[in-house]
Structure 1
Amino acid sequence: MSKAFTREPEGDEEDDELSPSLKLPPGSKNYITPAGHARLLEEQEFLIKVERPKVVEVVAWAASNGDRSENGDYLYGKKRLREIDRRIRFLGKRLDNAQVVDPTLQGENDQIFFGATVTLSFDGEAEQVFSIVGIDEADASRGRISWISPLARALIKAREGDAIRFQTPAGVREIDILEVRYQPLD
């Protein structure tokens, strides 16, 4: 039977394909900063209003050329449409479950919660700055760690001036919390 007439399975197959770092703990909310929420909305809108219509146009043109079985534009276009639709569904689910948390509403709080930007010193060495963000916003190269990451979980509820012990694959490390601030993230 032709692949054109087969039905893709419905349900949460996208969740099964996610890397463990992108899966939410069962029963938890998808916390996200206002900037992260805006980026997901922007991506979803771009896919729906720009990218998908372009691909549909190419697929329609390729289909009008006749034999579809050896038509690369048609076959690639259909595959790309499935990828776009899967991403749109994923973004829709993430946005539906999102709970936007504005870090600036914390004020001058010295305790670490979601949205905190924290200056740390590992074992008395050089300072590093991390922001605790949603799983869809995490980017280690920019110092943004997910609130479900082991480091963030170790830091949550600690206060400025505290020293905590953190288990790493290389062994236990001492972390000094030098500064906690809540600022808008871009």
Structure 2
Amino acid sequence: MIPERDIRRFWLWWAKNEALIRKVIEKGSEAKLLELKEHIDRKVLGFGHFTWEIIESQNKTYCLIISPNRDYDRLQLTKKIMKAAPDLAHWEFRYAKPENPRVSPFKMYDALLDPVIIDPSNWEMEFANGIVHIYAENLVEVDPETRLEALDLVVTAHFGEEFRIMEVKQLEWEENYEKKNA
């Protein structure tokens, strides 16, 4: 459990420094951006095994997301952290990554630490009864452990992290796209 005082301290720090954070994001050098990243890393990791990101917001200028890393117990903690967030003119705060139906290709490393490009652009996904069926021909050559991690990352991005945690019980990979009811 995260002590309330640690959450209050974090948000007091954020509110006090939010203009500087925005300035570094908008006009900072690479060195200043790295310094900011490391500072926020220390603050967020002080809560536990969480990750964070700042993205452009649809409603405000920026959005800080503290991710529970696809973990139910940590989701409850990120909800608690974000519930205490201040109301700031330029900031929106989220307790989990939002859905992103158009996942871009990305690089990850397989069991042998070789880089693998994962391109989900032609994948098909169907959700029913807690199971996501993923049709992805381009994962045939990927080892099973890396394949499962890639599937989980893409499903989490596609449906949103909270949906992934709360609703998805199983992932099933299919090499060929054949609708189950066709």
Q: TM-score range by the shorter chain?
A: under 0.3
TM-score (normalizing by structure 1): 0.22
TM-score (normalizing by structure 2): 0.22
